[in-house]
Amino acid sequence: MRLRRPLVVLLLLLLTATALVYAARPYARAASLFVRVANIGDPIERFFEARARTVDAQSPHTVPTREGDVQAQFYRPEGRIRRSVLLVPGVHSMGIAEPRLTALARDLAGSGIAVMAMALPDLVAYRITARSADVIEDAAAWLAAQPAFAPDGRVGIVGISFAGGLAIVAAGRPPLRDKVAYVVSFGGHGDLGRVLHYLATGDAVQAPGIATHPPHDYGVAVILYAAADRVVPAEQVAPLREGIRTFLLASQLTLVDMNQANATFAKAREMVKGLPEPSATYLKYVNERNVKALGPILVPHLGLEADPAASPERAPSVPAAPVFLLHGDGDTVIPTAESAVLGDYLRSKGVDVRVLISQIITHAELDRSAAAAEIWRLIAFWADVLDR
């Protein structure tokens, strides 16, 4: 993810101001994190890469949870560990091997935070369920009980996309409340039902000053995958899901290998020919990214997909730890207003909340150039997180 050339000049000025005015380690660490995550290149990135801690990506291990053992991986920085975080990605079949996740884990660890990356089995399988909050709760408790990684018995939790809302749900549960130092929701949801309704209809919750954009087609494909057993005959469920899974994999591969992605998209289109109706039409809509055609088909089934226990705004308790809500201002997967509304809700419950709506990010990526003030806001946000 490369930022435009003019941004390098702005960033140099910002970093100089950081060194002269603040000289505080959290700001310097956050600025370094920004430079490395943004892949700016040039001497400035090489400067910070040379000063980041060396990171040991350890062999994957398993973490015991009530849903069974779940694979995870430590990214351990050299030197003393003061804080560790549980880093959880959103809906993605590649799990902890997803390239953006591994890059973020390394960059965070390079800032001196030990990272345990762990993908949620249900999200890997394109299902957004409250069971995932159970897995986060158990994994965070396990990590907090490891003295080498949690000297004070507390850990941070960073959840991306739908894992962000699920992380807040888990952090608010009584067994975990005293074991969490902070929670970061990066492009997460406040109410799962609202988000599913948006993905199918384009209608989102409103917040002052925040625009709503047409939903991304990825969302309806994920909803159709989960609801397939209710929209097609039983004998068509497995073949339809295989076709949707192929399309979703192709979408994910666009960030890794376009040739492989295009070949996989072609395979998904070819699979339409072997399906009976109505599955053939539904997979055709998926391949054509036809949200307007698929949305009305899915609306009657949204209630069964939106488990209230998977929504922070419907959880019986809220986190005692500070909550950081980061959201891109043009998000088309989880509407930007979700974080603004969730922030208001959590504050009404007495939670220490910081919300940043950023022009620099989209759904869960840093891939836009922006004014110096926007860069500074993002650096200050992460400085606050890194100081916990």
Are 343 and 375 in contact by the 8 Å Cβ rule? The answer is no
Single-letter amino acid code for the residue at 215: P
The tens digit of pLDDT for each residue in 18-72 reads 544 444 455 556 556 655 555 545 544 454 554 567 899 999 999 999 999 999 9
pLDDT at position 25 is 56
- Residue bearing the bigger pLDDT, 129 or 21: 129
pLDDT at position 373 is 76
Backbone phi, psi, residue 115, to 5°: -120, 130
pLDDT at position 1 is 39
Residue-wise burial string across 77-113, b where 16 or more C-beta atoms lie within 10 A, e elsewhere: beeebebbbbbbbbbbebbbebebbbebbbbbbbbbb
Neighbours of 24 (CB within 10 A): 12
The whole-number average pLDDT for the span 327-350 is: 96
pLDDT at 362 over 90: no
Are 117 and 72 in contact by the 8 Å Cβ rule? The answer is yes
Domain 55-191+311-386 has CATH 3.10.20.600: no
The whole-number average pLDDT for the span 129-155 is: 97
The share of the chain scoring above pLDDT 90, in percent, equals: 73
pLDDT at 157 over 50: yes
Which residues in the chain are classed under CATH 3.40.50.1820? 55-191+311-386
The tens digit of pLDDT for each residue in 96-111 reads 999 889 988 998 898 8
The tens digit of pLDDT for each residue in 190-206 reads 999 999 999 999 999 99
**Lowest-confidence segment of 258-262, 287-291, 309-313, 383-387 by average pLDDT:** 383-387
pLDDT at position 2 is 42
The whole-number average pLDDT for the span 10-21 is: 50
pLDDT at position 375 is 80
Residues 6+ apart with CB under 8 A from 89: 95, 96, 98, 101, 117, 119, 120, 123, 160, 161, 163
Residues 6+ apart with CB under 8 A from 190: 165, 205, 311, 312, 313, 338, 339, 341, 342, 345
pLDDT at position 71 is 97
pLDDT at 326 over 80: yes
pLDDT at position 38 is 54
The whole-number average pLDDT for the span 160-170 is: 97
pLDDT at position 306 is 82
pLDDT at position 111 is 87
Question: Quick one: 199 exposed, middle or buried, by C-beta within 10 A (0-12, 13-18, 19+)?
Answer: buried
In angstroms, the CA 136 to CA 28 distance is 30
pLDDT at position 20 is 40
**Lowest-confidence segment of 4-8, 244-248, 291-295, 337-341 by average pLDDT:** 4-8
pLDDT at position 21 is 44
Average pLDDT, the chain: 88
pLDDT at 161 over 80: yes
pLDDT at position 41 is 53
pLDDT at position 34 is 58
Query: How distant, in Å, are the alpha carbons of 54, 102, 322, 341 from that of 96?
Result: 20, 7, 26, 30
pLDDT at position 357 is 94
pLDDT grade for 162, boundaries at 50, 70 and 90: very high
Tokens of 230: 């209710």
Tokens of 291: 């949200």
